[in-house]
């Protein structure tokens, strides 16, 4: 969540989408941090803000945030019935709808985000926690 909040900082509209982004991104990276060793590495790089590992994750989070706001603009409605950003991201079943949007041809950020997630996974795998 800290990394999601960091990626949202400075962009007011992103604050509303952060739970959707957290849930979606965690679904993509959780399998890479499931083992005890990987989980310890992930916690360490987050606590010490090691940009070598976190930079690809931040790029991926930025892409997911951008996609979530594109999704909002597509799905919010028109005219007086249009939902504002704060109420839109509180709708139920939004995660399922976003996954459908994510996998559609409309989403132009998917490949770059997935490439960044792969870079993050490799950087995390290669990371060595310094000995104390």
Q: Is the pLDDT of residue 51 over 70?
A: yes
Cα(89)–Cα(17) distance, integer angstroms: 6
Q: Is the pLDDT of residue 128 over 80?
A: yes
The residue extents of the domains of the chain are: 2-126
Residues 80-103: tens digit of each pLDDT: 889 999 999 999 999 999 999 999
> What pLDDT score was predicted for residue 131?
79
No. of helices (H) and no. of strands (E), the chain: 7, 0
Residue found by looking up tokens 């399998």 in the block? 31
Residues 20-42: tens digit of each pLDDT: 999 999 999 999 998 899 999 99
Closest CA to 7 of 23, 26, 20, 21: 21
Rounded mean pLDDT, 47-64: 95
> What confidence category does residue 130 fall into, taking pLDDT thresholds of 50, 70 and 90?
confident
> What confidence category does residue 132 fall into, taking pLDDT thresholds of 50, 70 and 90?
low
Q: What is the largest CA-CA distance in the chain?
A: 60
Cα(68)–Cα(14) distance, integer angstroms: 9
């Amino acid at each position: 969540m800290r990394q999601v909040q960091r990626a949202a900082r400075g962009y007011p509209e992103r604050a509303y989408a952060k739970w959707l982004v957290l849930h979606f991104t965690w679904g993509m990276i959780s399998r890479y941090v499931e083992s005890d060793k990987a989980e310890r590495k992930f916690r360490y790089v987050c606590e010490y803000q090691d940009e070598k590992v976190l930079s690809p994750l931040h790029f991926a989070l930025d892409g997911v945030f951008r996609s979530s706001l594109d999704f909002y603009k597509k799905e919010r409605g028109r005219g007086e019935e249009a939902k504002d950003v704060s109420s839109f991201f509180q709708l139920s079943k939004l995660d399922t709808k976003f996954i459908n949007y994510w996998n559609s041809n409309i989403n132009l950020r998917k490949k770059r985000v997935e490439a960044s997630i792969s870079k993050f996974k490799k950087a995390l795998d290669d990371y060595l926690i310094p000995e104390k």
